[in-house]
Structure 1
Amino acid sequence: MEFLGLLFALAAGVWGIYLAHRVSLQLLALVVLIVGTVFGPVFFAINGPIQFSIDRILWFVMLGLFALRSLRDRTRPIELNRMDWLIVAFVGWLLLSMVISDAPQAGPEPLARWIFYALLPMGMYIVARFARLSRFELRVVQRSFIGLGIYLGLTALAEKAELKSLVFPRFIIDPEYIEFLGRGRGPLLNPTGNGFLLSIGIAAMLLAFQHRSRFARLGYGIAMLAAAGGVFATLTRSVWIAAIAAVSLTQFNRISRGIRIWAVVTSLVLAGGLAIGFGDQILNLKRDKNLSASAAADSIALRPMLAVIAWEMFKERPLTGVGYGHYFAFNQQYAKATEWEMPLRTATSYHQHNVLLSYLVDTGLIGAGLWIIMAIGWGMKAWQISRSSSACPEAQNIGLLMIATLSSYLLNGMFQDVSIIPMLNMYLFYFAGLTVAVDSVDGRLPERNYADRRRAVVDRRAAGAMEMKTVSSR
């Protein structure tokens, strides 16, 4: 085994040297996201003080290559703007609030949460923001999300129909992971996370649909139907709302003002009609395979109780919060409040069901304020790029995909703490990095990046010339 391990290490080293000069960091970041989604820790993991999976190993490779190229390419220094400093301040504050917390039982969980849901996403942002970027790579990003959306949509439909032979990887339908079983939970094993990615995929398909031939449009139309079926198969109300909003917002600036008004009014009327006519059926919708319809309806009653607990905790520590990741170390003592006629203790075993309340309770007004400013800044930059006349079409599409990503994240976040769903922060920060990178050059990008390849060729020629000179001197 030691000999095989040595051979593997040598082969990996050789390929690493080869790829270090040729691989696109932007596309490597995309690989990290897709591998982390489909082949994450549930598929394969090395357990220890910190759990390592394939995507996390690739993340370290990606950051290592980025650092190597940044040191080598002195002609392109990294210059931070306000959005960059803002994300550094946010992630830094999460760490500081975790460290200064006076939680009675800290344990390793807060640190692991910070690493996986803050530090790793910031690494994705850094690479997407500062690595070389071209129109070709942006097209690959869009097509990759189209492919991911088709895969997730068909898989969710197969899950819902219990067509087990069509579901891959197999752990998706493994009854050992019982939570959300029977819904389109996908490889993230979470219907909200699955719906979040499907919303981005549908938006990418719709953008491609508008610029293709009639035959290609037929294919994209079928793909959108498959992804929309996957959204329905999640059986998650927030996912349905978020998917509709994400698709609508990506098309908002491409239709006339009159049609926009009619579309908004029609949507409000339809939503009101559905709420009046089918409100009870929607609230009592049976979703999980092992969860009754009444139990599903009872879960809605948790939200006001969680909001009350959050309010009580916020009143005592409004500025700094209880500390990032320390919610469960404090929430039980605040569930004893007697002025509320609610069984608050029944909600103490659940995470907050709102991402803003989660940040507010854990990190106070400082952390929640930084997060809100970041979200507003990302949204404004995405909107500006999508409407910029100087930006290339690929850059405009990235702005629109960021709008879809951010809207889906926020709308789902109104009903769940999406910041702790695996991979969601990774995708959000990745698109944020691309958006800020595109905005920093006003959407003007080269067709392809040949800089790294040219440097590798020059280095090889220089090395060969030096070798010839040495031989001739002999």
Structure 2
Amino acid sequence: MQRVLRAEKNDWLAVAAIAVLAAATALLVPAEHLLWVWIGVAGLIVVLMWSRFGDPLTLVLAWFVTSACFSYFFWRAPLPGGLLHVTVDRLFMLVVVTVMVLSLVVGRVSWRPLPAVVKLAVVMAGYFSVSLLMSGFASIADVTPHFRLVGGYYFPIIGMVIAYLAVRDERQAAKLAWFFLAFGLYLTVTAWAEYFGVWELVFPRYIADQELGIHWGRARGPFLVSPSLGVTLVFCFFSNLYLAGRMHGPARLLVYAADLLMVPAIFFTLTRSVWLAMVVCLVIYIAFNRRVRTKAGVFAGLGAVAVVLIAVLWPNLTSRDRATGGVSDPYPIYARVGLAKISMKLFSQQPVFGVGFGHFRDAAVQRGVDPASVYMRFASQQMEHNNFLSVLTETGVVGLVLYVLVLIGLLRVSLRVYRRLSPTGRGWMTRDFVVLYWIMFANYLIDAMFRETSVDPFNNSLFFVLSGMVLGMDFLLAGPAATWSAARTDRADAAFAADASLR
């Protein structure tokens, strides 16, 4: 409240001017539309006030909710021409961008020079856009090319830039951890309800419609796609461990209890890439966890437990029934091998610029396949299930090089931040946060090896928003509050406490 009272007079003059304008407009608007006018005015005032006093990163977290639960299947309205639809999450992204721009204008957020990797990501998105414009918007694929471009690259890169500019203190890392505790609990309850058919507990209601999405019979969550739910749950699991490490007493036990409920939910996705990601991320967590001092002993113990479980569950593991833990279902493997063969054939014909962003399916049909091949039989009607091969096929060597360079650039920055932070630092923005980012990095890469990730705006954006936060940490740690002759001491932690000097 005191913060509001100390606001500059021109802030309140702007609000008063809007109110006067709204009152004047109301005299000219028919009574049946007056409610919508006042709602619009109230929304405009909230946007202005948030731009002056709020945290843009909070709006990004709120956007994640709209992206997961209030997107295309919840509500949509076609724009003239039918090429694009208005959805809640897209409208809210406009609000987020508007607030960010206004925050920069009024000085709530200070502009920072964009890192080279962000500029490279913008170039990559621009190149993909040109590729789409040259190849056209029409496609036989279920997921339109422009949806993949906007949801898979535009929104994530926008989120990365906002996170980079908005990060200024440790409270934002805490906010992110608490948010994903709550959101992870929602997804966990939803996964349990789906798996056991308790549809009364499922929201949004469209999750219960087997005609929508894919992977009916598995836990899909509001994404209607099992891998998307699994990737998010894996991140939430380790985010909870990060959160629990900063809590004490019963509260920590409650967070651990949430993670115990989350493990079966991850299994309920019945997705092998998700199970693999869980194992790999667990190895990363143990390897870099400061609280685990006897890592060799922990790995040996986990290895022994794994051997025993494999021996006991061998009949289930070797079955084709994923509901019992089986990993031997060959048909998805056949499809991926066939898709890789098609991709290599398309790449050999157009290696430099590819067949056009979002047009793998169109090009694959035109080139024809071998109907006698078991691999081609399962692959011929699908989109590429490997993000690297998809980028290579659709945008050529140029696109793949840009994409890989962005990933390498982000990893290099995170390594630099990790080295700069104190090994014994306390708080939220410590090496533990960078390790959490590496966990999401591995989670993202494993997902990218087994499907086209541009169809998943939520997890693509999650990865890039976390990247933006790490980039913001890198900027802060290189600032005047961090003297890097002492970068390996606890003075590095002061960089996040000195908010005023770093803005």
TM-score range, shorter chain: 0.7 to 0.9
How far did residue 278 of structure 1 move? 5.8
Residues 106 and 73 of structure 1: is their aligned pair in 2 closer, same or farther, counting only changes over 3 Å? farther
Q: Match of 2:104, as an amino acid?
A: S
Show the counterpart of 1:466.
Answer: none
* Residues 251-283 of structure 1: per-residue CA shift (max 9 Å, x gap): 322259994455556767777887788677446
TM-score computed with the length of structure 1 as normaliser: 0.84
CA–CA separation in structure 2 for the residues paired with 1:205 and 1:257: 17
CA–CA separation in structure 2 for the residues paired with 1:100 and 1:149: 40
Residues 121 and 75 of structure 1: is their aligned pair in 2 closer, same or farther, counting only changes over 3 Å? closer
Q: Is the 8 A contact 2:334 2:379 kept in 1?
A: no
Q: Match of 1:59, as an amino acid?
A: M
CA–CA separation in structure 1 for the residues paired with 2:72 and 2:178: 25
Q: Is the 8 A contact 1:86 1:370 kept in 2?
A: yes
Residues 104 and 351 of structure 1: is their aligned pair in 2 closer, same or farther, counting only changes over 3 Å? closer
Q: Match of 2:62, as an amino acid?
A: V
Q: Match of 2:193, as an amino acid?
A: A
Q: Secondary structure at the match of 1:364?
A: helix
CA–CA separation in structure 2 for the residues paired with 1:75 and 1:8: 27
Q: Is the 8 A contact 1:335 1:345 kept in 2?
A: no
Select 2:412's aligned residue among 372, 380, 385: 380
Query: Gaps spanning 5+ residues in structure 2: where?
Result: 1-31, 478-491
Q: Is the 8 A contact 1:184 1:191 kept in 2?
A: yes
Residues 152 and 134 of structure 1: is their aligned pair in 2 closer, same or farther, counting only changes over 3 Å? same
Select 2:381's aligned residue among 342, 349, 353: 349
Q: Is the 8 A contact 1:98 1:324 kept in 2?
A: yes
Q: Secondary structure at the match of 2:222?
A: coil
CA–CA separation in structure 2 for the residues paired with 1:223 and 1:308: 42
CA–CA separation in structure 1 for the residues paired with 2:498 and 2:210: 46
CA–CA separation in structure 2 for the residues paired with 1:20 and 1:125: 18
Show the counterpart of 1:57.
Answer: 91
CA–CA separation in structure 2 for the residues paired with 1:380 and 1:264: 27
Show the counterpart of 1:154.
Answer: 189
TM-score computed with the length of structure 2 as normaliser: 0.79
Q: Is the 8 A contact 1:98 1:323 kept in 2?
A: yes
CA–CA separation in structure 2 for the residues paired with 1:181 and 1:448: 50
Show the counterpart of 1:175.
Answer: 210
* Residues 125-146 of structure 1: per-residue CA shift (max 9 Å, x gap): 1111112522112110111111
Select 1:298's aligned residue among 322, 328, 331: 331
Instruction: Count the aligned residue pairs.
Output: 447
Given the alignment of the two structures, is residue 314 of structure 1 paired with residue 377 of structure 2, yes or no?
no
Given the alignment of the two structures, is residue 203 of structure 1 paired with residue 216 of structure 2, yes or no?
no
Q: Is the 8 A contact 2:429 2:496 kept in 1?
A: no
Show the counterpart of 1:83.
Answer: 117
Pairing of 1:60-459 with structure 2 (within 5 A): 60-73=94-107, 76-101=110-135, 109-177=144-212, 179-254=214-289, 259-261=294-296, 281-282=316-317, 284-286=319-321, 297-336=330-369, 341-342=373-374, 344=376, 346-386=378-418, 388-390=420-422, 393-396=427-430, 397-442=432-477, 445-447=495-497
How far did residue 301 of structure 1 move? 1.5
How far did residue 221 of structure 1 move? 1.6
Show the counterpart of 1:24.
Answer: 55
Residues 54 and 86 of structure 1: is their aligned pair in 2 closer, same or farther, counting only changes over 3 Å? same
Higher normalized contact order (CA 8 Å, seq sep 6+, divided by chain length): 1
**Structure 1, 2-11 or 253-262: larger mean CA deviation:** 253-262
Q: Match of 1:328, as an amino acid?
A: R
* Residues 222-254 of structure 1: per-residue CA shift (max 9 Å, x gap): 111111121011111111111222233133222
Show the counterpart of 1:14.
Answer: 45
* Residues 194-216 of structure 1: per-residue CA shift (max 9 Å, x gap): 11111111111111223332423
CA–CA separation in structure 2 for the residues paired with 1:260 and 1:403: 18
CA–CA separation in structure 2 for the residues paired with 1:75 and 1:423: 25
CA–CA separation in structure 2 for the residues paired with 1:148 and 1:104: 36
Q: Secondary structure at the match of 1:69?
A: helix
Give the % identical residues: 23
Residues 180 and 15 of structure 1: is their aligned pair in 2 closer, same or farther, counting only changes over 3 Å? same
CA–CA separation in structure 1 for the residues paired with 2:207 and 2:178: 24
Query: Gaps spanning 5+ residues in structure 1: where?
Result: 455-474
CA–CA separation in structure 2 for the residues paired with 1:36 and 1:437: 24
* Residues 370-429 of structure 1: per-residue CA shift (max 9 Å, x gap): 222222232333344345434663222432221121111111222222232242211111
Q: Match of 2:387, as an amino acid?
A: V
How far did residue 105 of structure 1 move? 6.1
CA–CA separation in structure 1 for the residues paired with 2:127 and 2:315: 43
Q: Secondary structure at the match of 2:217?
A: coil
Residues 15 and 194 of structure 1: is their aligned pair in 2 closer, same or farther, counting only changes over 3 Å? same
CA–CA separation in structure 2 for the residues paired with 1:449 and 1:82: 24
Q: Is the 8 A contact 1:25 1:132 kept in 2?
A: no
Q: Is the 8 A contact 2:355 2:394 kept in 1?
A: yes
